[in-house]
Chain A
Amino acid sequence: MTHYIIRRLLSFTLVLIGVSIIIFFVLRILPGDPAQIILGTQATPEKLAHLRHLMGLDRPLIVQYFDWIGGVLRGDFGHSISYDTSVASLIATRMEVTLFLTFFAMLLSIIIGIPLGIFAATHQGTPGDYLVMLASQIGIAIPAFWTGILFIYFFAVKYHMLPAGGYVSITKGLVPFIKSIILPTLAIAIVRASVLARMSRSSVLEVMREDYVRTARSKGLEEKVVIYKHVLKNAFIPILTVIGLQVGQLVAGEIIIENVFYLPGLGQLVMRSIGQRDLPTVQAIVLFIAVLIIIINLVVDILYGYFDPRIKYE
């Protein structure tokens, strides 16, 4: 187990380095000069050169990369051009919404998706199964931001039950907080729950075809016991992996949803920073989100090894 965790941590570090290199070089190698972008095409060459020097763009790429990474490791994500403050403090103030949204959307999609998938698998071929499959097929096809827009129309514009957007911090009261976050959470969770339901259904069905399940049945165990004790325990492992893989999609979905509901989270910050050509902020947020995704995947990987003792990292 310890060996397994060490191997995962090693590969985690490698992926982190890879991600940071990609983010850095995508922003540097692609045509377009960040200084020019900030100052516009009217800028004088002197001003350009001055800003390039200030931003360290006149130094070799390798030096720039290590400067940036060195800063990140010390918690210094750089200085935001448009907000004129440290990017780290910007991220800190915007993190609350995004983290709550991630957590609740994930929780909700697990609570809805997995039981539906198990139900469909154990009732394979019945109308209930078809209904779940149909609903999830539709849930996957409909973009979350459209669901969000429809929610706003029905619950805010038409029936005035919930706010159309904006965020109320949890420190200002639980009810207003829930009211401000329930629609965006639901909009994201519907898509993710649909994917989870389909995945859970296939992994349960796959396990149900295993020999040991047939053995359990043929020795006369009750169907309930077979399902709960033999099938679900084993089907849970692939489901767990899927949950990990979903995180990336979920966080990406949030960037959009935060913009639909005007939630002041990282997604909204990154879009505004793009609009204002604030590269240090964009770069830092993308790195932050990527790291968040990788960490959650690492945790899932480690849990995976914990739940299934057969797994040995080669």
Chain B
Amino acid sequence: MKRYLKNKNFLIGIIIVSLIVIMAIVSFFYTPYDPNKMHIRDRLKPPSAKHLLGTDQYGRDILSRIMKGAVNSIFVGILSVGVGLLFGLFFGAIAAYFGGWKDEIIMRIMDVLYGFPPVLMAILITSILGPGIRNSILAIGIFNIPVFARLTRGSFLSTKERDFVQAARALGDKESVIILKHIFPNIISPIIVQSATQFAVAILAEAALSYLGLGTQPPNASWGRMLKEAQTYMRLSPWPAIFPGLAIGFAVLGVNMLGDGLRDIFDPKLSHLGRK
């Protein structure tokens, strides 16, 4: 535990992430105003005691919408990383375990998928299935699959040949036991670190897709969508264009720092190198 608290990246990261998670949880029980309720008379107000972060073009409370937007970002992050983890671990492990042509085919497919930036993939998917949060999760999730598949395969291969695995094999352990009990615990830490990075990528990608109108649909609050709407009214009030962007920046910064901190803690050898 002391190792965790001594790491500055981890500490700052976990504080920022906790704040955002708390904000999201609180939003289920309490928001200062109804996030979707319009008050036309109060439109585009600067921050004040009544509306801490001001109001948008429909007079909706920005703080309330940012709180709901946090739920949205976390939701997309968890599910899209989940999709990537589920399939990535599976394909990566199969490629590493069987090797040969199975490895070759799986990894070449992963290469092709990896060449697709998530935004491009999302454009492709939403152009057929239509815009929406489910399809953006699908798109970001698909992008995450090769990331985790490559990582799993690499770590799996290097662990497979280690002495303790050979020893377990010599002792007559079953292959399934070797994979689950000996190999898996050893590849879990890079996967956790990568999950943090991909979570940050997912938050950014969701914001971008919603900005483009492909992600979360109105009237639901999404940080990216809020920026899109704010840009139109920037001449009248810059505030709606500032706070959602800050929220995105903070969330991504927090998750990235948490990931960096975890990497340093899991792998002290690399700590001086900084994030790759």
Interface residues of chain A, those whose CB is within 8 Å of chain B, are: 14-15, 18-19, 22-23, 26-27, 30-32, 34, 37, 124, 133, 137-138, 140-143, 145-146, 149-150, 152-153, 157, 198-199, 201-202, 205-206, 248-249, 251-253, 255-256, 259-260, 270-271, 273-274, 277, 279, 282, 286, 289-290, 293-294, 297
Contact = CB atoms under 8 A, between A and B. Distances in A.
B115 to A, nearest CB: 6
B112 interface: yes
B249 A146 contact: yes
12 contacts: A19-B115, A133-B274, A137-B253, A141-B253, A145-B207, A153-B241, A202-B273, A205-B272, A249-B117, A251-B117, A271-B123, A279-B127
Report the contact-size class of chain B (Cβ under 8 Å from the partner): 35 or more
B190 to A, nearest CB: 16
Which among A22, A146, A150 has the highest number of chain B CB atoms within 10 Å?
A: A146
Nearest to B118: A252
Contact of B123 (A30, A138, A282): A282
Contact of B126 (A31, A124, A202, A274): A274
A45 B236 CA distance: 49
A30 to B, nearest CB: 5
Contacts of B257: 137
Which among A30, A124, A133, A253 has the highest number of chain B CB atoms within 10 Å?
A: A30
Interface in B233-252: 234-235, 238, 241-242, 245, 248-250, 252
Interface in B198-238: 200, 204, 207-208, 211-214, 224, 227, 230-231, 234-235, 238
A198 B263 CA distance: 15
B120 interface: yes
Interface of B: 108-109, 111-113, 115-120, 123-130, 200, 204, 207-208, 211-214, 224, 227, 230-231, 234-235, 238, 241-242, 245, 248-250, 252-253, 256-257, 272-276
B115 A15 contact: yes
B94 to A, nearest CB: 19
B112 A255 contact: no
Given A138-B253, A260-B231, A201 B120 contact: no
B231 A18 contact: no
B128 A27 contact: yes
Given A15-B115, A31-B129, A286-B123, A143 B231 contact: no
